[in-house]
Structure 1
Amino acid sequence: MKQTLRRELTNIIFLVLIVAAAVVIYLLSRAESATQTPDASPTPASETASKQTSEETESADASAPSNDPEESSTTRGVPESVFKTHLLSSELYAAAPVRNKPTTYTLIWSESEQAEVLLTYELRNGDLSSLEITFQLPEVFQGNPKSDIEKRLAEASESLATANDEVIPALLLDLLPASDAKDKLQQTSIRFWTEEAQRLKKVGDKFEDTLDGYHFIAYRKQGDTLQELVCILYLT
């Protein structure tokens, strides 16, 4: 009887030891896992640093220049108000706006009523993007005029030709620089363009050139009554 009780007591003690060992092993493994895995929750200091970095990034983004094409103008032209002031205050010619065409003017050379020039311009974001100047050219008569009418027409053509020799270079040297906001359009370039434009002899003749980034076109065409010389400066 005593041996049986002793054997059962031994078994109970053995089971208790096994359970205790298992509990100890479990607790040790939990402690080791907690030691190896750092606390992922942010500390107050890390939260403050993160907030400061975010605010600095937002501030830098706000202060960076905008590349929005709507906010930046790519034209080299002056503001329309500046160009209008130049037109209306000139002593070389009288500028009169064309009715129902707010960007078109008639220019009358002050020393010759024969020279009437048509000026029109285009705008981009309120600045000039192109400038077009149209000169009337004299009619060429063959032989000597026979009637009084032919004589008057020949005299008018001769007067216009004489006026154009002065008007064309003078207006181009006046209007093209006045439209340039960058002040980089050289007078030597304008003189070269003028000479080439005046060399055009017949309808369809054309001259085109780009100097210092400015694009210039001149061509002859048939107008309503006379041939015309059209000169265009692109400021984009």
Structure 2
Amino acid sequence: MKAIAVNGSPRRKWNTAQMLESALSGCRDAGAETELVHLIDLKFKGCTSCFGCKRLGGPSYAKCAMRDDLTRVLDDVWDADVLIVGSPVYFGDVTADVRAFLERLWFSILMYNKEHTVRAPKSMPVKIILTTNAPEFGFHKSLNEGLIGTMSRFIGPAELIEANATLQFDDYGKYDAGMFDVDDRIKRHNEVFPQDCRRAYEMGKRAVAEAKELK
């Protein structure tokens, strides 16, 4: 049993990464091996519409034909039993790196036949973690529903959790960020964010249990 987490944040140790680490800790406690990938460390780009993934009888049918640092990650995803994707929300969407990752993950298994058949190698639970400095997440409803719906259709049962009003800076005084109540942000980081990480941990444990049921 293996769980892979993909961090789409440019920060390797901040809010999104910490929640992903908590989720993977839950996976390990449930008996799974784990892997964490930081997309910021890789050299890759989004789909180039080469259509190699749709060429009948071709060597890359139903898999991404591009060859770069993301190739191994995509292979590892399909070798895993649980997929966890984490991203901060930038302007109402996931980061550019996550978007490129999802393009190549999703598009390669969606066929252009009349049924729009999805040819995923397997079904697995998908867990999504979103973080944002915004105090409320209601305006991201369409993003959440889109991620859950597409992941559920293309890969397997999906679940999403979010952490909002997150701490962005070690020292707010060094940045043009006067709109924030710094004391409130620090208080929330100390009191609420650990609860967000705990939710991620429990989600990781739940994911492994769901993966075992799918086998």
- TM-score tier by shorter-chain length is under 0.3
TM-score (normalised: structure 1): 0.23
* Larger RCO, structure (CA 8 Å, separation 6 or more): 2
- Higher share in strand: 1
Q: Is the radius of gyration larger for structure 1 or structure 2? A: 1
TM-score (normalised: structure 2): 0.25
